[in-house]
Structure 1
Amino acid sequence: MKYFHPLALPCFLTSSLLLVTPCSLAANQTNTDINEKRAYTYLKQLASPTEGIGAREAGTEKEQQTASYIKTMFEKFGYQVTEQNFSFKSGKMEGESKNIIAQWGDSTKPTIILGAHYDSTAMKTGSMGATDNGAGVAAMLAIAEALTTQLPKNYNIRFVAFGAEEIGLKGSNHYVSDLSARNEIGNIAAMINFDTIAGGDKVYVHSAHSTPYKRCKSDEYNSDTSMRNALLSASINVLGEDNKYVIHPDYAGYPEGVTGSWSDHASFACAGVPIAYVESTNFSINGKDGFDGYSQSTKEKLWTCYDQKNATACDKKTEKNWGNIWHTQFDRLDQLNEIFPGRVKQQLDNNVDVLIELLTNPDKYLSLK
């Protein structure tokens, strides 16, 4: 495949998506500036029902359209792209989906994977999947674009867009199973999961839970904190102490800095790969099931009634919304920008900056396996 500098791309129109890329860039802009501006553009192309695709539920034509869009973007940046098709069953639902895998580097070197699922859910509530997980995919694309001119020497970087996450982590399960079947799992140095990285009150970074997830074999499970700590260090260097990633404190069922098995990182942790999971939420809220991070914000509009003093619902029996964004009518750009002016773009930009720092300088933050 011929490779070319991504900044020299002509404007293009994808007829099936009716999406246009930006085509004029100031010569003196830095890569980071360019990719910050493009990350939010990619988010609109993914999650806006008027300017892009909108809801992208597993097994639907819109999910297929999204996979094609992601593949096209990776190819435009110059990556070697592979489609990994799979069938899935979830309850009474059966369908087809695919993972999109992009790489530009030496796959024999220790590989760091940045992954994000591209399907959405809860379309019937009005959700367009802007934070869950358009933001994660948009940031991943912007990071991939920047890294074409800044690849590290001692690591291989791979990007994976997972399909059908919302119905049981189908894409990541399939991807990890395939790696294991081909005896390639041992070459994966770490996996970073971008899921709901913008919208919530704070941006956290987690490691896998210290207790193996129920579906894992305990002798293979990996709860190493090295990638979490690396991302924390990178966030301090890029964003400063005041805006760095947050490590949540101890809560019942969730020791300091660990997360549950509800996203694509779980498949990797079960296979023995160190993981880090970046998400925006608010662990300090006493939500419907305690301090578990499922309540993303204290904003009044996201609650029937929020008790600021006690950081919980005024009345737990009558509360309907629980500060939730994902899987609700609030997970769409028009709602998010009205409730949190400027927040989504800022968090998106910050995540792009932090990952560019880490992935262009992994030796600075990690030790080779």
Structure 2
Amino acid sequence: MLQIIAKQTSKQTMKIMAVAIMVAGVAACNDDDSEAVFVTVPTYGEYGTDTALTLARDYPGRYMGSSTELAAAQYMKQRMTFGDNGDEVILQPFTFVASRGPFADQSITSQNVVVTHEGTENTGRTLYVGAHYDSATQYPNYIELEGLDDNASGSGVLSELVYHFNGVNTADTIKFVAFGSEEGGLQGSKAFVESLSQDEIDNAIGMINLDSLLTGDNMYANAGDNSYDDDGNEIAANVKLREAALRIANELNLGLQVNPAIIPPGETEPYKPLGVGCCSDQESFDSIMPVVAFEATNWSLGPDFDGYTQTDNPDIPGGYSWHNPDVDNEAVLTQALGEERIKQRMSAFAQIVTKLIAEQVQAESIR
């Protein structure tokens, strides 16, 4: 999570044969001919939990431009590569000048990890799915920051999504991206967006973002700033991913909410209206395609009701963990939230987003 410091269908043309996803296994039916396809699925959340815990334990202080960030990128590449399955996995380097923090005015080199899962139908359409893997530098002891919540959790789910779609035929292409240097001002996602051609932008299905999935009291799926027109009317095409996510979560009996916009405009900045999220890599895509941002926080907690207060749990000092090495670590979060929290959240988000992706790219089956 990037912190803003200032406070002021029709039926799809390709049959989706595995859209009823269950933890114990999948039995999916084609409505047109009642042909049943049974797909064995591992327990949701396991692969992502392993990734998240390893990032936190073995790569603390993976701040922008550091050797640890590069090592973490290599680890993410490893976790997002599954043999000779045809998916291209690359590191995408980029350079920027830091605008703040301990590295202000310095030239920083970072990297994204990009997995391209090619569609089989040559539609030209692509769905983008991302999470940042770097950690913040806000606190003096930032080199100790495990960043389990922000954002080993999102990176873990991202790696699991790649796992689930490994070897699965999809009509449309999926690009899974682990972003570097989000905490330096969304630098990885900005660099990625700048690399897109106009044709890629015109044929984008949308972007799914995963950031800070553990500490918060509630799970959210919010759309982007492009959700409303100038008259305040919701634009259906720009909130389609959010609405699909909410429907899927309801089908799976998993609680998923949106920003309720409790506080009126003008009383806090950045103000986000009903159902709109804030301050992570989806914002780099927001002006060019529909987005949905998954997170865990508590938009109903004051005083600003801006999503930065994540929890009313008394064992989380100040109500938030992000960026703070003394709180955003495995020991403190496990003690405060319980040992099962990480597995529960990783499982829930993995289930919702796996099914969301499957629908959007017209997947034949899900691993």
Tell me what 1:337 maps to.
334
Cα offset for 1:134? 0.5
Cα offset for 1:209? 2.3
Judging changes above 3 Å, is the alpha-carbon distance between structure 1 residues 53 and 136 closer, same or farther for their aligned structure 2 residues? Answer: same
Cα offset for 1:31? 5.2
Query: Does structure 1 residue 152 correspond to structure 2 residue 170?
Result: yes
Summarize deviations over 1:51-92 as a string: whole Å, max 9, x none: x22221010000000111111222235431122111111132
AA aligned to 1:85 is P
Cα offset for 1:148? 1.4
Distance in 1, matches of 2:162 and 2:55, equals: 16
Judging changes above 3 Å, is the alpha-carbon distance between structure 1 residues 105 and 31 closer, same or farther for their aligned structure 2 residues? Answer: farther
Cα offset for 1:345? 1.8
AA aligned to 1:136 is G
Cα offset for 1:224? 1.2
Residue 301 of structure 1: SS of its match in structure 2? Answer: coil
Residue 132 of structure 1: SS of its match in structure 2? Answer: helix
The answer on whether the counterparts of 1:336 and 1:344 sit within 8 Å (CA) in structure 2 is no
Summarize deviations over 1:178-216 as a string: whole Å, max 9, x none: 104x6421121100010112221001000112589xxxx
Aligned alpha-carbon RMSD (Å): 2.4
TM-score for the superposition, normalised by structure 2: 0.76
Given the alignment, which residue of 249, 260, 270 partners 1:249? 260
Summarize deviations over 1:274-314 as a string: whole Å, max 9, x none: 00000100011003xx11010000011224xxxxxxxxxxx
Given the alignment, which residue of 277, 286, 290 partners 1:269? 286
Residue 59 of structure 1: SS of its match in structure 2? Answer: coil
Judging changes above 3 Å, is the alpha-carbon distance between structure 1 residues 73 and 46 closer, same or farther for their aligned structure 2 residues? Answer: same
Residue 42 of structure 2: SS of its match in structure 1? Answer: helix
Tell me what 1:103 maps to.
116
The answer on whether the counterparts of 2:221 and 2:293 sit within 8 Å (CA) in structure 1 is yes
The answer on whether the counterparts of 1:208 and 1:223 sit within 8 Å (CA) in structure 2 is no
Distance in 1, matches of 2:134 and 2:123, equals: 30
Q: Which runs of 4+ in 1 moved over 3 A?
A: none
Query: Does structure 1 residue 202 correspond to structure 2 residue 231?
Result: no
The answer on whether the counterparts of 1:194 and 1:278 sit within 8 Å (CA) in structure 2 is yes
TM-score for the superposition, normalised by structure 1: 0.75
Query: Does structure 1 residue 45 correspond to structure 2 residue 54?
Result: yes
Gaps of 5+ in 2: 1-38, 100-104, 229-234, 265-270
Q: How does 1:1-369 map to 2 (within 5 A)?
A: 32-48=41-57, 52-76=58-82, 78=85, 79-91=87-99, 92-106=105-119, 108-122=123-137, 124=141, 126-153=144-171, 155-180=172-197, 183-209=199-225, 224-238=238-252, 240=253, 243-251=254-262, 252=264, 253-260=271-278, 262-270=279-287, 272-287=288-303, 290-303=304-317, 321=318, 323-328=319-324, 329-341=326-338, 342-362=340-360
Tell me what 1:25 maps to.
none
Distance in 1, matches of 2:148 and 2:79, equals: 18
Summarize deviations over 1:229-259 as a string: whole Å, max 9, x none: 1111111122x1xx32112212323321112
AA aligned to 1:257 is G
AA aligned to 1:232 is L
Distance in 1, matches of 2:92 and 2:166, equals: 22
Distance in 2, matches of 1:283 and 1:138, equals: 24
